Amino acid sequence: MLKTVPWVSLALVLLSYSTLGWVISETHPPMYVWLAIVVAILLLILTLTTAWPKLTSYYNILFESNIKSFGITVLAAFMFFVMLAWFRVFLDTLLIFSATILVRVDFQIAGLKKNLAFWSMSIFSLTGLLLGALIYKLVNSEILLK
């Protein structure tokens, strides 16, 4: 079973989430921001590991009325503006999404179960986030000591 695990993809996830942890640590956010980021990461992974027919039923709920469709369109336009205004943040986010999707596809090709995919992706993502934050703290404490 260990031979079928996509180690290279998981290493990319670990590195990409480490950069996220580093970038977030630079802003010195409060604890609730870290909690919101962890929840967002778990929701992203859950969305990728959930069966697609379930997702389409959820998306049908979003687009069942004109008001909801208009709201989604306005939100998409705002997100496009944010993408252009903060292109660096957008590229970092795109890197994280791409690495996570790559791991999901590799797990699917290997024929591993969805629960295993979710838990291993969650562990590697959150470990990467924690590693990035810890490395940032270690580097800055080393600089402060000099």
97-134 residue pLDDT tens:
899 889 888 888 888 888 888 899 999 999 999 999 99
- Does 66 fall in a domain? no
Query: Which SS3 state, helix, strand or coil, does residue 75 take?
Result: helix
Query: Which SS3 state, helix, strand or coil, does residue 64 take?
Result: coil
pLDDT for 125: 94
Q: What is the number of structural domains in the chain?
A: 1
Per residue in 90-99, pLDDT (tens digit) is 888 888 989 9
Residue 4: what are its φ and ψ, rounded to 5°? -85, -10
- Does 62 fall in a domain? no
- Does 75 fall in a domain? no
Tokens of 56: 């389409």
> Quick one: pLDDT band at residue 3, thresholds 50, 70, 90?
low
> How far is residue 132's CA from residue 59's CA, in Å, rounded to a whole number?
34
pLDDT for 128: 94
- Does 60 fall in a domain? no
> How far is residue 138's CA from residue 93's CA, in Å, rounded to a whole number?
24
Report yes or no: 41 and 125 within 8 Å, Cβ to Cβ.
yes
pLDDT for 145: 59
pLDDT for 61: 72
Q: Is the pLDDT of residue 2 over 90?
A: no
- Does 2 fall in a domain? no
Q: Is the pLDDT of residue 1 over 60?
A: no
pTM across the whole model:
0.76
- Does 46 fall in a domain? yes
Domain assignment of residue 35, given as a range: 12-55+85-141
- Does 113 fall in a domain? yes
Query: Which SS3 state, helix, strand or coil, does residue 95 take?
Result: helix
Report yes or no: 17 and 125 within 8 Å, Cβ to Cβ.
yes
- Does 97 fall in a domain? yes
| Pick from 38, 9, 43: nearest CA to 24 | 38
Q: How far are the Cα atoms of 8, 33, 65, 70, 104 from residue 107, in angstroms, in the given order?
A: 12, 30, 36, 36, 5
Q: Is 122 left (phi over 0), alpha (psi -120 to 50) or beta?
A: alpha
pLDDT for 13: 92
Tokens of 47: 């969305």
Quick count: other Cβ atoms within 10 Å of Cβ 11?
Answer: 14
